[in-house]
């Protein structure tokens, strides 16, 4: 039995030395030291030994077991190291390899112009205000002097959600919302998305953007409105730009006007951009109607104000000479990267 144990130790150690990886080691461990392995098989003969030989053989068997275990562990460590080195070699980064080209992001043309308009008004002490796109009929129409059945509703094809909830058709509801929450002096710019159920074509989109302006204080006049809009026009289109106020009607301003800027391409002589007019319409405006002030909780006997609503797309299209409004919403990077 002693010879058997010695021989087993020798072959086991040789085989371990000849192994190639950790899988080989595991099979060898099972073959020699496992429950059904060679060592167990040899130990089964213990019963036939004499009482004084038994402990000696037991001790030898233990020595053989730990010798084999030690050898297996030693080789396992070696293979682990080798595997690690191999992995590290695979993960090596070639720092001299050329990188991938990164394309630079661009501001969307709508954002370019909106940011310019914001800068111009922030420079005049305006605050930026925002409000909900899903709006109550009350703020979008009722409080702006447009009761149910008023013909002005027909011109703003409205997406209704329920009878009293809709997608705002203009940013003017922000006038009421802001006046309800703030006392004069008020000077705000409220940009945002508006919605009208128009079919999309080169000049219409069911979603577009407006920029609302509202100023309320003691002694505000139409002269203040004009100066303010002149500053906007010159800031956007250049110092030589002139503006023109044409009488108009909005239910929530009185008097009301539409505002044109002198064509920045031809300077006013007439060209294809202004369709020979020399002028381009960019916004609606007027003095805030006394009832609208009242609806916002402000006394029209003490305060007056002006308001205006700029169509952002209108300015962007003419400014960048874009001939189809849909290009602004398609997010085609070939288009966007030109700005
Ligand atoms: N809300 C108006 C529109 O959508 C524009 C406007 C705003 C007119 C403020 C006057 C004052 O046409």
Last residue of a domain, one of 39, 62, 90: 90
Note whether 72 and 129 are same-domain residues. Answer: no
What's the distance, CA 330 to chain centroid?
16
Whose CA is closest to atom 2 on ligand 1?
A: 309
Residue 318 lies in a domain: yes
Q: How far apart are the first and last CA of the chain?
A: 91
| Nearest-atom index, ligand 1, CA of 210 | 4
Domain holding 216, by residue range, is 109-336
Note whether 178 and 129 are same-domain residues. Answer: yes
pLDDT on residue 238: 93
Q: For ligand 1, say whether the CB of 253 is within 6 Å of any of its atoms.
A: yes
pLDDT on residue 19: 87
Whose CA is closest to atom 7 on ligand 1?
A: 309
Note whether 113 and 213 are same-domain residues. Answer: yes
pLDDT tens string 64-113: 888 888 988 888 898 899 889 989 988 888 889 888 888 888 899 999 99
The number of C-alpha atoms within 13 Å of 209 and in the hemisphere containing its C-beta is 21
Residue 274 lies in a domain: yes
Q: For ligand 1, say whether the CB of 306 is within 6 Å of any of its atoms.
A: no
Note whether 82 and 117 are same-domain residues. Answer: no
pLDDT on residue 231: 97
Residue 242 lies in a domain: yes
State both tokens at 56.
Answer: 């000696």
Note whether 78 and 118 are same-domain residues. Answer: no
Q: For ligand 1, say whether the CB of 307 is within 6 Å of any of its atoms.
A: yes
Q: Which residues of the chain have pLDDT under 70?
A: none
Q: Looking at the whole model, is its pTM more than 0.85?
A: no
Q: How far is the CA of 107 from the centre of ligand 1 (A)?
A: 27
Q: For ligand 1, say whether the CB of 208 is within 6 Å of any of its atoms.
A: no
| Nearest-atom index, ligand 1, CA of 285 | 10
Q: Where are the beta strands (DSSP E) in the chain?
A: 127-128, 134-136, 165-167, 186-195, 207-217, 243-250, 253-262, 279-288, 304-311
Note whether 176 and 52 are same-domain residues. Answer: no
Whose CA is closest to atom 6 on ligand 1?
A: 309
- Our mutation pick for probing the ligand 1 site, out of 144, 250, 296, counting the most ligand atoms within 8 A of Cβ, is 250
Q: For ligand 1, say whether the CB of 172 is within 6 Å of any of its atoms.
A: yes
State both tokens at 87.
Answer: 């992995």
Residue 259 lies in a domain: yes
Q: For ligand 1, say whether the CB of 173 is within 6 Å of any of its atoms.
A: no
* Element holding 41 (H helix, E strand): helix 38-43
Closest CA to 40 of 67, 18, 10, 8: 8
The number of C-alpha atoms within 13 Å of 149 and in the hemisphere containing its C-beta is 0
Note whether 281 and 138 are same-domain residues. Answer: yes
Note whether 212 and 76 are same-domain residues. Answer: no
DSSP-based three-state secondary structure for 226: helix
**Tally of domains within the chain:** 2
Please name every residue paired with 194 in a beta bridge, in sequence order, or none if there are none: 208
CATH number, residue 290 = 3.30.930.10
Cα gap 337→108, rounded to integer Å: 9
b/e per residue 133-158 (b: at least 16 CB within 10 A): eebbbebbbbbbbbeeeeeebeebeb
Cα gap 150→146, rounded to integer Å: 6
Q: For ligand 1, say whether the CB of 228 is within 6 Å of any of its atoms.
A: no
Q: For ligand 1, say whether the CB of 175 is within 6 Å of any of its atoms.
A: no
pLDDT on residue 245: 97
Residue 236 lies in a domain: yes
State both tokens at 2.
Answer: 């002693």
Note whether 48 and 177 are same-domain residues. Answer: no
Note whether 62 and 188 are same-domain residues. Answer: no
pLDDT on residue 213: 98
Note whether 319 and 277 are same-domain residues. Answer: yes
Residue 29 lies in a domain: yes
| Nearest-atom index, ligand 1, CA of 288 | 11
Cα gap 55→265, rounded to integer Å: 110
CB 39 within 8 A of CB 69: no
| Nearest-atom index, ligand 1, CA of 171 | 1
Cα gap 288→188, rounded to integer Å: 14
Note whether 215 and 313 are same-domain residues. Answer: yes
């Amino acid at each position: 039995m002693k010879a058997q144990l010695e021989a087993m130790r020798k072959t086991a150690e040789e085989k371990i030395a000849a192994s190639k990886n950790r899988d080989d080691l595991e099979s060898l461990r099972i073959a020699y030291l496992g429950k059904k392995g060679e060592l167990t098989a040899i130990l089964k003969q213990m019963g036939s030994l004499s009482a004084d030989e038994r402990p000696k053989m037991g001790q030898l068997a233990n020595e053989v077991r730990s010798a084999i275990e030690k050898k297996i562990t030693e080789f396992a460590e070696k293979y682990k190291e080798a595997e690690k080195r191999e992995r590290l070699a695979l993960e090596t980064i070639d720092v001299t390899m050329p990188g991938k080209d990164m394309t630079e992001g661009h501001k969307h043309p709508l954002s370019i112009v909106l940011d310019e308009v914001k800068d111009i008004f922030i420079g005049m002490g305006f605050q930026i205000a925002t409000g909900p796109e899903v709006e109550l009929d009350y703020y979008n129409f009722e409080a702006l002097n447009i009761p149910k059945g008023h013909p002005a509703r027909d011109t703003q094809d409205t997406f209704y959600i329920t009878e009293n909830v809709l997608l705002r058709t203009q940013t003017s509801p922000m006038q009421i919302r802001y006046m309800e929450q703030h006392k004069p002096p008020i000077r705000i710019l409220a940009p945002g998305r508006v919605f009208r159920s128009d079919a999309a074509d080169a000049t219409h989109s069911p979603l577009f953007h407006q920029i609302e302006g509202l100023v309320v204080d003691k002694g505000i006049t139409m002269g203040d409105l004009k100066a303010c809009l002149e500053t906007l026009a010159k800031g956007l289109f250049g110092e030589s730009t002139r503006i023109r106020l044409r009488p108009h009607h909005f239910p929530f301003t009185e008097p009301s006007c539409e505002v044109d800027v002198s064509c920045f391409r031809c300077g006013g002589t007439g060209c294809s951009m202004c369709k020979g007019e020399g002028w381009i319409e960019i916004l609606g405006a007027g003095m805030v109607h006394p009832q609208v002030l009242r609806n916002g909780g402000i006394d029209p006997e003490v305060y007056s104000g002006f308001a205006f609503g700029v169509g952002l797309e209108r300015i962007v299209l003419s400014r960048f000479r874009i001939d189809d409004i849909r290009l602004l919403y398609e997010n085609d990077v070939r288009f966007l990267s030109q700005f």
